[in-house]
Amino acid sequence: MDQRTITIQYESHPDETTISSEDRRLLDVAREATSLAYAPYSRFRVGAAARLTDQRIVRGSNQENASYPAGICAERVLLATLSSIGTDAHITVMAISYVGEGLGNDKPLAPCGVCRQVMAEYEERTGAPFRLILAGLNGEVQIFQSASSLLPFRFSGSELPQ
Ligand code: THU
């Protein structure tokens, strides 16, 4: 029997003043995108913004439904939007933020497991890892070098019959 350990490396910035101005701008777009969320049920508005290889920025926000499971997270709205646009450009970095009613908003948001799975497969199919910037409206900013690093044991299409 082997005991194995997985290490996840990420940058933790006490606030946004030590991240690059480009990353800060993207984080601001993610924060702005929270205003486009449709979240009457959770009152937890999530915004995501991705910079593409051609420098365009694509946004997403969570879209809920009275049939709760029909709701879609901001990250997957963004990725579906990108696929719908139809472009050869791919994501180099994605910022995710949120506004939660009555919450402090000073902690980074940890993307849900389903979104981690979908982001990881996006990286796999484009062959290009993208950085993830996670932050609330203020306080700590976390930066991960790839979305897959958040989901080390993920299910992959390579496990399905070829
Ligand atoms: N949500 C996201 O949009 N992204 C995440 O990574 C976590 C959760 C949304 C789903 C739902 O609309 C609300 O936040 C509360 O779970």
Whether 150 lines ligand 1, by a CB cut-off of 6 Å, is no
The tokens describing 111, both together, are: 């993307």
Cβ of 75 closer than 6 Å to ligand 1, yes or no, is yes
Triad 113, 115, 119: Cα angle to 5° = 120
Separation of 85 CA from ligand 1 center, angstroms?
Answer: 23
Q: Is the pLDDT of residue 104 over 90?
A: no
Q: Is residue 97 within 8 Å of residue 136, measured between CB atoms?
A: yes
Domains of the chain: residue spans and CATH: 12-152 (3.40.140.10)
Task: Assess whether pLDDT exceeds 90 at residue 157.
Answer: no
Best residue for ligand 1 mutational test, from 34, 41, 42, 150 (most atoms within 8 Å of Cβ): 42
Pocket of ligand 1 contains residue 38 by CB under 6 Å = no
Largest CA distance in the chain: 51
User: In this predicted model, what pLDDT tens digit does every residue of 31-65 receive, in sequence order?
Assistant: 999 999 999 999 999 999 999 999 999 999 999 99
Integer Cα distance of 13 and 122 in angstroms: 26
Helix ranges, the chain (H): 21-33, 74-85, 113-126
